[in-house]
Chain A
Amino acid sequence: MDKKIRVLLAKPGLDGHDRGIKVIAAALRDAGMEVIYTGLRQTPQMIVDAAIQEDVDAIGVSILSGAHMTLFPAILDVLKEKDSSDIILFGGGIIPDDDKAELEKLGVAKVFTPGAPTIEAIKFLQEAMKLKKSDENIM
């Protein structure tokens, strides 16, 4: 049997709106994934440390305060610094299309915007894991 996908979910920055991330947590769990939700006001450092310690496949973050152009790149930087860029970073929030495109260019694997059904996040993670595994097999 396939190993369960492990996902760390967190709210970076100061924003406390956690409806979305809790819905995602429940949906990923119902889809058979292991979900670790580390809660509010996590710094990029805290998020990456927890991700490494928990040995997760992916990190999902939710930002509704408009600070996404600072926080996503900061998490990517810490991942790189800790030699952990193999951990998939995805997220969602109030994020305009232009910013979404720029973030995805910078290395955020996927940015979901309001109205995206949870099944999209589930499928995205399943697909991304398949790709990751085939990469590992090649290496």
Chain B
Amino acid sequence: MGWLAVWQRNFRVWKKLAGPSILGNLADPLLYMLGLGYGLGQFLGEVQGVPYLTFLAAGTLAYSVMNSATFETLYSAFSRMHVQKTWEAILNTPLTLNDVLMGEWLWAASKSLLSGVAILVVIWALGLYEDFALSLLLLPVILLTGLCFSGMGLMVNAKSPNYDFFLYYFTLVITPMILLAGVFYPTNALPAWLAVVADWLPLTHAIQLARPLVLGQLPEAAFWHGSVLLAYGVAGYAIGLRWTRRRLLR
């Protein structure tokens, strides 16, 4: 349970800045969702049988969870590891590197859970859902998505020499993922070869769980999609732990 003290440390810092943090997490995805949903939605009419804004809701939810988890494990965790030496200070106590990274992993997942819930509240408020009970199942999807991208983020963090390095990850991984995973349009609109690529992206799996739940259906192959998310998260965490050990404890 050593990780809990690390989680609590981050929570205590977050509490001091909770207002701007929540606003920042909420405002950006919300502006995209409403701007594109209402604006572009005028021209598009219905997508997959629902208004464009409703279609966009699930994608926005998934990508805002992804963004929140990624920012926390890249920029914020890097500050703690490299700039503030917080991790080094913790490693002088009985806690281990596994405690530190587990605390960071679960913290980033918790923070992205909050981001996801904020979007979910907007979905509820605007009535963009079909079935309230099914929309509650979005909560575990948010959690899995958060764990997935937090784990991957820790892996990137471990290899980063400075903040600029993260731009590679955003430009080469995150942005293409947003465009290919079905946030803005259904993946069956992609050419076949790109659709194959999209099938490998974790965000695709998050959206394939989230979208049916918003639209009032049970997702197909839910177990498979959930497993892929978890696998990416656990693999990212395990590799991140290994690389961070090599970075700090040698």
Q: Do A and B bind each other?
A: no
- Show the binding face of A for B, using Cβ within 8 Å: none
Binding site for A on B (CB under 8 A): none
